[in-house]
Structure 1
Amino acid sequence: GAVTYTLLLDEAGGILSDLTVARLADQHFQIGANSPADLDVLLRAAPDDVRIRDITAGTCCVGVWGPLARDLVQPLTRDDLSHQGLGYFRARRTHIGEVPVTAMRLSYVGELGWELYTTADLGLRLWDTLWEAGQRHGVVAAGRSAFNSLRLEKGYRAWGDDMTSEHTPYEAGLGFAVRMDKGDFTGREALLALAARGEPVRRLTALTLDDPAAVVLGKEPVYVGGSPAGYVTSAGYGYTLGRCVAYAWLPPLAPGTPVHIAWFGEKAAATVAEEPLFDPQMTHILK
């Protein structure tokens, strides 16, 4: 019933991918991965008594998130989906209407809700069940842009955009996903050596643009004190905050530090922000 957010590292401690791992039974796990490259890494590392099967083609997932997510989903199942019944980062097999699902209490958007997994042939039935039940609550079919906006406000990283194998967990702000006291793992020795050198010389840094009308898209250079110091990884307009949010690789800077982002020959003023930008007390999720 536990779900864990974790990382795949290379020998140098670089981030090959980030994963969610749900323990569905004592020796049965479902892994949410980023690409077939993750499957290759796992197959190469697996001992003889571990079997790995790619179920992507036969699986689908619908995310249900928002303040009224529980009002929508709870009447569709006999199981208790309260915070006490299915806590944050927990998983359970249940039914939504007539559709068998694996419900994972995860949120990549900073709001209450679940990832609901079922087989591909039942995906439309799951969607129709949720869509019909959601009409009384004003349900919205939100796309990738909304998804990206919300995760940026919450400070959730996107592998491939915000971090790659060129970056370590501590640089990327993902040190919480590393457990140095739980035995050996690929990249552990490299991380120990990096820790002995002291604090990282670069960090993935949250920025907010000073002008609410200014928007950047990612990959723009960032200037500190008039000199180029890093680059934007991903960015998008934060509708909750009312301004654009950008993440950038920069030297360690204190919150409140002014910077500029180059944009079509101009320099947009921005400010280093303290994370998370949205709901630091997690009151939207832990309810």
Structure 2
Amino acid sequence: MNIHRLENNAFMEEKQGWERPGFFLRKRSDVSHYDWYGSYNFLRCHSSTYEKYLNGNLKYQFSDHYDIIRNEALTCRKHAVVFNMSYFGKMYLTGPDAEKAAEWLFTSSIKNKENKIIYTCALNDEGGVEADLTFCKIKSFSKNFNENQTKGNCIYIVCGGASANYTYHFLDSEIKKKNFKAFLHNVTEDIGILSIQGPKSLSILQKIVDADISDSCFPKNTWIFGNIKTRTRKLKIKILRVSFVGELGFELHIPQSYCSEIYKYLMRIGKQFGLKNAGYRALYSLSSEKGYHLWGFDLRPDDTPVEANLAFTCKREIPYRGKKVVDEQRKTGVKKKLIYLTLDEHIPLWGLEGVYRNGNPIGFLRRGEYAYTLGKSIGQLYLERRDGLKIDDEYINAGHYEIDSMGRFLEATCHLKSPLN
């Protein structure tokens, strides 16, 4: 997959050992072999164009590639783009106790959810979010959707790539600790994900899929098996109608053996609709301005769903790990709460900037992005009261907020939810 992305001028990044496209350059730039910058008796490469592109991105001001990333983000909002999300974690939970284990592990219930895609959290004993993910029930377990299928209870799990190993080991250790007759299979490297997002995504996908994917037949947050009709054959895939950017969109879960073939076919058919490649710099901007969480940043093991505005994922009747804390916070309130801050001044935010309320330091941004749709920077902060009392919306809205950006105190507007939501 990445070979084809490089052919389309992908500027690559690394995350958890995976290569992924950060954005797509306008001009092709071949990547030379690593020369250790001329050290250790290595000769310096003559071509350093890619290195210059890299240096243009390594700065505390806006990247030299700001316009490229902006164009990718706005193309997603107005037309359609493709994200390669293959490094996301993919797992199957199988065995006689698969559903029983899922009910204990996840804050959302799995009962009576055939063909539904459920967003959920997995908590520790203190109610902290150890993972956030989606899951769905399927009738068989297969790495390639065709052969060697194992019948019986099966739950398909998808989580962020940066936290995939952590998520797998957290879930697996709890399954073993509780002696569930269930097994977690990591199939991340066996299945690729192409995510097509944007208002035109349905029109493009309908051109190549042999199933009716209209709203009435394929509602949001559901999944189906379908076939991609190439010129020479049909290729079976799993289609999930979900979005990490808040647009009409679909994820194509594809066996790695023909993922590249489908990518090339999709880009060829989508060209007439203005379909473009997009990278993770645009993806993170789009998700942040929509208010979606990024585990490890604005969602961590010391944040509860109630504090993170994710209480809607938590079932009320069925027991799950960490439920006691969640129930108590629902009843009595919390001492910290996730809020959003935006800047009117055209200054980038990167995360970790200090934040002040009424002139007093109150913490730092967990996450910072430029929201291209909003046309301003946006950051996430967990606000706590200095007096240790419970926090509420009235207290949040009564404050005057400033963000310390490289020594400059910038006035910030506070939002209880993402302003784009």
TM-score, length basis structure 1 = 0.91
- Is residue 73–residue 96 contact of structure 1 (8 Å, CA) maintained in 2? no
Q: Is the contact made by 1:220 and 1:261 (CA closer than 8 Å) also made in structure 2?
A: yes
The structure 2 residue matched to 1:14, chosen from 119, 128, 133, is: 128
Q: Deviations over 1:30-62 (max 9, x none)?
A: 101232222222223334432221101111101
Percent identity over the alignment? 25
Q: Deviations over 1:185-230 (max 9, x none)?
A: 111122233344x22121111111121x111100111100011112
Which range moved further: 39-48 or 20-29? 39-48
Q: Unaligned stretches of 5+ in structure 2?
A: 1-114, 140-151, 385-390
Work out the CA distance in 2 between the residues paired with 1:86 and 1:143. Answer: 27
Please say if residues 127 and 326 of structure 2, whose CA atoms lie closer than 8 Å, have aligned partners that are also in contact: yes
Instruction: Find the aligned partners of 2:206 and 2:298 in 1 and give their Cα distance.
Output: 35
User: Secondary structure at the residue paired with 1:53?
Assistant: strand
2:296 aligned residue (150, 160, 169): 160
Larger Rg: 2
Question: Among 187, 191, 213, which residue is 2:322 paired with?
Answer: 187
1:231 and 1:250 in contact (8 A); partners too: no
Q: Does 1:240 align with 2:240?
A: no
Structure-to-structure mapping, 1:33-44, within 5 angstroms: 33=159, 34-44=163-173
* Alpha-carbon displacement from aligned partner over 1:161-203 (angstroms, at most 9, x marks no partner): 111111111001111111121x21111122233344x221211
- Scaled by the length of structure 2, what TM-score is found? 0.63
- Worse overlay, 134-143 or 27-36: 27-36
One-letter code aligned to 1:188: K
SS in 2 for 1:268: strand
Q: Give CA deviations for 1:66-110 in whole Å, capped at 9, x if unaligned.
A: 010011101111211111111111011112233321111111101
**Bigger shift: 243-252 or 111-120?**
243-252
Q: Give how far 1:256 is off.
A: 7.9
CA deviation after TM superposition for structure 1 residue 255, in Å: 4.6
Aligned to 1:178, which of 314, 335, 340? Answer: 314
RMSD (Å) for aligned C-alpha atoms: 1.6
* C-alpha contact 1:163 1:172 (8 A) present in aligned 2: yes
Task: Kindly indicate whether residue 412 of structure 2 is the aligned counterpart of residue 270 of structure 1.
Answer: yes
User: In the alignment, does 2:354 pair up with 1:228?
Assistant: no
Q: 1:194 to 1:256 in 2, by over 3 A?
A: closer
Output the CA distance in 2 between the equivalents of 1:148 and 1:261.
21
User: In 2, Cα distance between the equivalents of 1:256 and 1:70?
Assistant: 43
Query: Superposition pairs for residues 33-182 of structure 1, below 5 Å?
Result: 33=159, 34-46=163-175, 47-97=179-229, 98-181=234-317
Ranges in structure 1 where 5+ consecutive residues have no aligned partner: 281-287
Q: Which amino acid is 1:245 matched to?
A: I
Match of 1:30 in 2: 156
Kept in 2: contact 1:238–1:245 (CA 8 A): yes
Query: 1:121 Cα shift?
Result: 1.8
How many residues get paired? Answer: 276
Between the aligned partners of 1:276 and 1:223, the Cα distance in structure 2 is: 19
Q: Structure 1 CA distance, aligned partners of 2:199 and 2:330? A: 40
Worse-superposed segment, 224-233 or 95-104: 95-104
**Hey, what does 1:250 align to over in structure 2?**
383
Query: What SS does structure 1 have at the residue aligned with 2:199?
Result: coil
Q: What does residue 24 of structure 2 align with?
A: none
CA distance in 1, matches of 2:267, 2:181: 42
Cα distance in 2 for residues equivalent to 1:9 and 1:209:
33
2 CA distance for matches of 1:240 and 1:274?
19
CA deviations on 1:243-265 (whole Å, 9 max, x unpaired) are 11111111355458531111111
The whole-number CA distance in structure 2 between the counterparts of 1:274 and 1:162 is: 14
